[in-house]
Amino acid sequence: MGKNLVEKILEAHLIAGQYIPGEEIGIRIDQTLTQDATGTMAYLQLEAMNVPRVKTELSVSYIDHNTIQIGYENADDHRYLQSVAQKYGIVLSRAGNGICHQVHLERFGVPGKTLIGSDSHTPTCGALGMIAIGAGGLDVAQAMAGEPFYLICPKVVKINLTGKLQPWVSAKDIILKVLEIFTTKGNVGTVFEYGGDGVAHLTVPERATIANMGAECGVTTSIFPSDKMTWLFLHSQQRENAFDEILPDKSAKYERVVNIDLAKIEPLTARPHSPDNIGTVRNMNGIAVDQVCLGSCTNSSYKDLVTVAKILKGRVVHPDVSFIIAPGSRQVLENLFHEGHLADLIASGARLMENACGFCIGNSQSPKSGAVSLRTSNRNFLGRSGTMDAQVYLVSPETAAAAVITGRFTDPRDLGIDYPHVKMPKNIIVDDNLIIRPDITKSGSEIVRGPNIGAPPANSPLPETIDATATIKVGDKITTDHIIPAGARMKYRSNIPRYSEFVFENVDADFAKRAQANKAAGKHNIIVAGLSYGQGSSREHAAICPMYLGVRAVIAKSFERIHTANLINFGILPLTFRNESDYDKITQGDELAIANVRELIAAGKDLPIQNKTKGFSFSVKCNLSARQKQIVLAGGALNVKSLK
């Protein structure tokens, strides 16, 4: 039987388990990436594993998230990351070099290789024919230490793209259409594999936009074939030696095939406050726009920015609009400069930001109160922009440019100008001066630590009885941004006691105080949640900080993949209701008790939970592999390491 792309690559890297969809497997990891918001903790965990050097083919540490230096914390973390990179043999991409996914695509991605990164948008490199997966920092640290990466062997859904896009419709509209079809929940354990004759018309940067936002669907990753377009991209990067053609067999089998006619797609937008709240741009009724932000790892490539530069050439930003651009990499910026496109953007009134994540994670350019902000980024969760009442819409670069000109939501097809087709250059300016490769002649390098950097917090083994309070009850589609805020709070990422003070800050500002009080009184905390708990970022702090506050379990209707793994890695039980109607019977503040926990977990049985406040019992499932059981019983993965 023929094989699809996912089978070919995963089977070549399989080192534990069997390739059976739905079963746990362990794969060899060739490359890792981290970014500074999650990387500091990942490297603290790597230090705790006592390995002398990383054991991957390539590991890259990027400084791209918290580049705003307000206070000493971020700068101290960056110095720590540079010293760790030298000591452990890690490549460092310095602040200003660009966003991890854009730079990795340009300079390091290799078709057929496996990559995991401590960022949920690591699947961007699926555009090169890689298996690229977002993961928690501890999983990445273990991969750097030479251990397998474990995941559920995925089901593979083929998304068959046919035809060609019409002018003014772009790759962002394709992935918004995919989100309209699949939504943000219900896709755990799935990989999207793109194929069809339409793929041949999509450049690698366009494919990257699509692969990037597959993360919003909750899939394990997305992947494109490695073909002529891949070779052209690698050739332009002076890396054609990295090319390897990887195509699915003609007789390859898929769980499901979904057909999308590219010619029928029109300009789309994701309305507040979810990436799957899709509508057409034309139906936005000319809503007035206050801010337009062009950039992020989703749409900050050479093609994206040149397209907008050509649209805006000779025009001026509408007086009611603040227009922000953040190139995805220093390479993109240099090429824009040398070709004159940067001058056109600046002449239009664009405000040039650093080559970094910036506005996408809410650590700069927060819009005014009640603003309508159009962004080419990948998430529009409530409050993520830094302004709680802002209305954030996700759009294509073309739609963003139309709003810059008109000051309103405008279908770019209605601008009355010719669409500026942009060809990818055969050769681009390549400048790796801000990439530091470790000096192998230097050994025993000192690691530099600032006062905000502390060791990973320890957890105790799982108790025999969990005697807890339902300290918070939340609804469906709770994201990691809801659990632990991004933006300005992220400077405390290396200081877990401090960062933990902000858990659920934007949902229930008193949660941390209640949880701390319970912990001090010797009681445990339980979180009760609805569907799709843990959407969004791979930020493992959404598990570490609750663990530090004494959370022992989360009971939800369903979980997302990365957050589930993070909960397990830090000794928190991910429990799902046997009967979802039991969710409605629980009130925040109820006293819950789970007896014989260790015995039942080891036996793989359901856990009966007594609601002592309401006087009833209900059952929950705890679906764990033998490996995961060992981890939660020990109180977390680092405890397992220390026991060996």
Percent of all residues in the chain with a pLDDT value above 70, rounded to a whole number? 99
Could you tell me if 351 and 250 lie in one domain?
no
Could you tell me if 179 and 326 lie in one domain?
no
Could you tell me if 24 and 160 lie in one domain?
yes
Single out the residue of 58, 211, 39 nearest to residue 122, CA to CA: 211
pLDDT band, very low/low/confident/very high, at 1 (cuts 50, 70, 90)? confident
Estimate the crossing angle of helix 341-348 against helix 302-312, to 10 degrees: 50
What is the domain range of residue 294?
268-411
Are 630 and 499 within 8 A, CB to CB? no
Predicted local confidence at residue 539, as pLDDT:
86
From 264, 293, 323, the end of a domain falls on: 264
Could you tell me if 91 and 208 lie in one domain?
yes
Tell me which of 65-69, 133-137, 623-627, 636-640 is least confident: 65-69
Cα-to-chain-centroid distance, residue 398: 24
pLDDT at 643 over 50: no
CATH code of the domain covering residue 335: 3.30.499.10
Kindly report, residue by residue over 44-76, the tens digit of the pLDDT.
999 999 899 999 999 999 999 988 878 898 999
pLDDT at 325 over 70: yes
- Sheet with strand 24-27: strands edge to edge: 14-16, 24-27, 149-152
Kindly report, residue by residue over 407-429, the tens digit of the pLDDT.
999 999 999 999 998 988 878 99
- Is residue 406 in a domain? yes
Model-level pTM? 0.94
pLDDT at 283 over 50: yes
Could you tell me if 310 and 245 lie in one domain?
no
When pLDDT is averaged across residues 239-260 and rounded to a whole number, the result is: 97
Could you tell me if 243 and 272 lie in one domain?
no
pLDDT band, very low/low/confident/very high, at 443 (cuts 50, 70, 90)? low
Estimate the crossing angle of helix 626-634 against helix 561-569, to 10 degrees: 50
The full 3-state SS of 377-430, as one line of letters, equals: CCCCCCCCCCCCCCEEEECCHHHHHHHHHHCECCCHHHCCCCCCCCCCCCCCCC
From 411, 443, 458, the end of a domain falls on: 411
- Is residue 460 in a domain? no
The full 3-state SS of 22-38, as one line of letters, equals: CCEEEECCCEEEEEHHH
Predicted local confidence at residue 494, as pLDDT:
87
pLDDT at 635 over 90: yes
pLDDT at 148 over 90: yes
| Residue 607 CB burial class (10 angstroms; 0-12, 13-18, ≥19) | buried
- Is residue 379 in a domain? yes
Are 559 and 576 within 8 A, CB to CB? yes
- Is residue 447 in a domain? no
pLDDT at 383 over 80: yes
- Is residue 621 in a domain? yes
Predicted local confidence at residue 156, as pLDDT:
98
Could you tell me if 400 and 471 lie in one domain?
no
From 248, 264, 280, the end of a domain falls on: 264
Could you tell me if 221 and 355 lie in one domain?
no
- Is residue 239 in a domain? yes
Residue 193 amino acid letter? E
Hey, what are 637's tokens? 């993965």
Kindly report, residue by residue over 189-230, the tens digit of the pLDDT.
999 999 999 999 999 999 999 999 999 999 999 999 999 999
Predicted local confidence at residue 480, as pLDDT:
94
Predicted local confidence at residue 350, as pLDDT:
97
CATH code of the domain covering residue 505: 3.20.19.10
pLDDT at 509 over 90: yes
Kindly report, residue by residue over 292-305, the tens digit of the pLDDT.
999 999 999 999 99
Kindly report, residue by residue over 86-144, the tens digit of the pLDDT.
999 999 999 999 999 999 999 999 999 999 999 999 999 999 999 999 999 999 999 99
**Domains in the chain, number:** 3
Contacts of 91 by beta carbon, 8 Å cutoff, 6+ apart = 58, 59, 60, 61, 85, 108, 435, 436, 437, 438
Could you tell me if 248 and 289 lie in one domain?
no
Contacts of 64 by beta carbon, 8 Å cutoff, 6+ apart = 35, 36, 93, 95, 97, 98, 99, 100, 103, 355, 356, 357
Q: How far apart are CA 571 and CA 547, in angstroms?
A: 8
- Is residue 461 in a domain? no
- Is residue 633 in a domain? yes
Write down the mean pLDDT value for the chain.
95
pLDDT band, very low/low/confident/very high, at 628 (cuts 50, 70, 90)? very high
CA dihedral (270, 271, 277, 283) in degrees, to 10, reads -90
Could you tell me if 113 and 234 lie in one domain?
yes
Element spanning 483, H or E: helix 480-483
Could you tell me if 93 and 161 lie in one domain?
yes
Kindly report, residue by residue over 361-378, the tens digit of the pLDDT.
888 888 999 999 999 999
When pLDDT is averaged across residues 343-356 and rounded to a whole number, the result is: 95
CB atoms closer than 10 angstroms to residue 247:
14
Could you tell me if 572 and 517 lie in one domain?
yes
Look at residue 138 and give its three-state secondary structure: helix
